[in-house]
C-alpha cells in the first residue's frame, strides 16, 4: 500500500505488515500508512480478523527519535495528536486484532501492540516503554492503555524504569497472551486469527465495542451499552441463523448481515 506498510488478505485474514529497515521505527509516514491500511481492513467485509506483524526479526523498536529530536513543543503537540489518532484507528478496528511480536516491541512499537486485542510473542521478544530514558514519557497511548491492560502498579514499573521485559515476564503480567518459539510467531497468530473467520462479524464488532467502550465508563453505563448492542443484534440475519441452527441442532452459516 505505502512505502513501509502493506496489507495482504488471505482466507478472510488481513496481515498488516510493517517493513522499514532496520528496526521498523515508527516515523510520521509509517504511522500514517498504518492508519490508512487499518481503515481499509476495518471497512472490508471480506476481512474477519487482522494480524499486526513486523516480520521475522522485529515488530517495531520504537518511534523515529531522529525525526522527533528537533521538534519544538508546538511541533510535537501536533505530531503527537496525529500519532495517537493513527493508533486509535488500529484500536478501533471492529474485528479481532492480533499482534505477532518478534524481536523488539518498544516505545511506539509496544504502544502499537497494545492497540491489538491479543498479543502473541516469540520466546526472545522484548517489550517495554523506554521513553523515560530519553527524558520524556510514552506519547502514543502507553500511559493509558498499558495500565488498563496490566494494572497501574505494573504499568508504572515499566514506564518509570524504562526497562525491557522478556517474553516470559510479559506473559506472567498479562502484557502478552501467548509465548511461542520465535519461528512460530506468525503461524501462531494466523492459527488464532483463523478461529474468527466465518463467524458472526456484526456480533464480533458489537462485542469488541461493548467491552472497549464499557471499560471507559461506570458499570451502569457499561451495562446500558451492552443492552443496546445485545438488543440490536436481534435485527441481524446472523442472530436468526445462529438461533435457528441451535434449535435445529445444526451448524450455523453466518453471512455478516
- Domains belonging to the chain, first-starting first, are 5-194 (3.90.226.10), 201-248 (1.10.12.10)
Cell of 224: 446500558
Strand, helix or coil for residue 89:
helix
Distance CA 256, CA 204 (A): 10
Q: Is residue 5 scored above 90 in pLDDT?
A: yes
pLDDT in tens, 35-83: 999 999 999 999 999 999 999 999 999 888 888 888 999 999 999 999 9
Partners of 127 in beta bridges: 105, 165
> What's the pLDDT score for residue 130?
96
pLDDT in tens, 205-232: 999 999 999 999 999 999 999 999 999 9
Q: Is residue 102 scored above 80 in pLDDT?
A: yes
For residue 176, count CB atoms less than 10 angstroms from its CB and return exposed for 0-12, middle for 13-18, buried for 19 or more. Answer: buried
Q: Where are the alpha helices (DSSP H) in 44-166?
A: 65-68, 73-91, 108-114, 142-150, 152-161
Q: What are the residue numbers of the active site?
A: 111, 131
Amino acid at each position: 500500500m505505502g512505502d513501509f506498510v502493506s496489507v495482504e488478505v488471505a482466507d478472510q485474514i488481513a496481515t498488516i505488515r510493517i517493513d522499514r529497515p532496520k528496526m521498523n521505527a515508527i516515523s510520521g509516514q509509517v504511522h500514517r500508512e498504518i492508519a490508512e491500511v487499518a481503515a481499509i481492513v476495518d471497512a472490508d467485509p471480506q476481512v474477519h480478523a487482522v494480524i499486526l506483524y513486523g516480520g521475522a526479526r522485529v515488530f517495531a523498536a520504537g518511534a523515529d527519535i531522529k525525526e522527533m529530536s528537533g521538534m519544538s513543543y508546538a511541533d510535537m503537540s501536533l505530531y503527537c495528536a496525529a500519532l495517537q489518532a493513527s493508533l486509535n484507528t488500529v484500536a478501533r478496528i471492529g474485528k479481532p486484532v492480533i499482534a505477532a511480536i518478534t524481536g523488539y516491541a518498544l516505545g511506539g512499537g509496544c504502544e502499537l501492540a497494545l492497540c491489538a486485542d491479543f498479543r502473541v510473542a516469540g520466546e526472545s521478544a522484548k517489550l517495554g516503554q523506554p521513553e523515560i530514558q530519553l527524558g520524556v514519557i510514552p506519547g502514543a497511548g502507553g500511559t493509558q492503555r498499558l495500565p488498563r491492560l496490566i494494572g497501574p502498579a505494573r504499568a508504572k514499573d515499566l514506564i518509570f524504569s524504562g526497562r525491557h521485559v522478556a517474553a516470559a515476564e510479559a506473559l506472567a503480567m498479562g502484557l502478552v497472551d501467548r509465548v511461542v518459539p520465535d519461528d512460530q510467531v506468525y503461524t501462531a497468530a494466523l492459527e488464532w486469527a483463523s478461529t474468527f473467520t466465518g463467524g458472526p462479524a456484526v456480533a464480533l464488532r458489537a462485542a469488541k465495542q461493548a467491552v472497549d467502550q464499557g471499560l471507559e465508563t461506570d458499570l451502569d453505563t457499561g451495562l446500558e451499552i451492552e443492552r443496546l448492542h445485545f438488543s440490536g443484534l436481534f435485527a441481524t440475519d446472523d442472530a436468526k441463523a445462529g438461533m435457528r441452527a441451535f434449535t435445529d441442532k445444526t451448524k450455523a452459516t453466518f453471512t455478516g448481515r
